């Protein structure tokens, strides 16, 4: 076999391998994209069904995410209205992807990447722990918290205050 023929065969094999790799990568992307959309769609179907504590043994023990937040905030000595207002704002009233797919009830993030939690209870616990650090530093009002929580958004404090007025406990 001539060198020219061997080179053509090698070139065709290379092209085929590249096509197989491209197809595999595309299929993997589509599978991940479909899975993500399915997860979001499934979560969206339950959008108006409050998430409840997984540890509840009877229906009377079920808590909505808002009840979990206010209960934990009260136990930690945090203004329940403030905790709930921030959570509502940061999750778009519990409709954000971070909340629906990652149980992130407070909009907590690392380098602008939302944190994810295994359960809503884990998300509530992390959120309240975060607020406790603010309270421990003397940051107990929307104005004081907003300076560190969301300094880039001038309206954050006003929105939190407006939501606090809507909160009924």
The pTM is what? 0.65
Mean pLDDT of the chain: 82
pLDDT in tens, 7-16: 888 888 888 7
Per the rule left: phi > 0, alpha: psi between -120 and 50, beta: everything else, 94 is: left
pLDDT > 70 in the chain, percent? 76
DSSP string, 4-56: HHHHHHHHHHHHHHHHHHHHHHHHHHHHHHHHHHHHHHHHHHTTTS----TT-
pLDDT of residue 61: 63
Residue 147 CA from chain centroid, whole number: 22
DSSP for residue 100 = H
pLDDT in tens, 92-125: 999 999 999 999 999 999 988 999 999 999 999 9
């Amino acid at each position: 076999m001539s060198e020219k023929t061997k080179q053509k065969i090698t070139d065709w094999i290379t092209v085929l391998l590249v096509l197989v790799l491209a197809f595999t990568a595309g299929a993997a992307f589509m599978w991940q994209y479909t899975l993500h959309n399915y997860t979001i769609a499934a979560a969206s179907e339950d959008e108006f069904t409050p998430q409840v504590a997984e540890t509840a043994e009877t229906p009377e023990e079920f808590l909505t995410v808002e009840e979990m937040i206010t209960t934990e905030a009260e136990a930690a000595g945090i203004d329940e209205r403030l905790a709930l207002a921030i959570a509502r704002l940061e999750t778009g009233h519990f409709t954000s992807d971070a909340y629906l797919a990652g149980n992130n009830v407070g909009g907590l993030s690392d380098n602008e990447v939302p944190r994810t939690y295994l359960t809503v209870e884990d998300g509530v616990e992390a959120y309240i722990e975060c607020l406790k650090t603010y309270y421990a530093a003397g940051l107990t009002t929307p104005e004081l918290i907003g300076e560190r929580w969301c300094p880039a958004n001038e309206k954050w404090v006003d929105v939190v205050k407006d939501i606090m007025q809507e909160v009924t406990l």
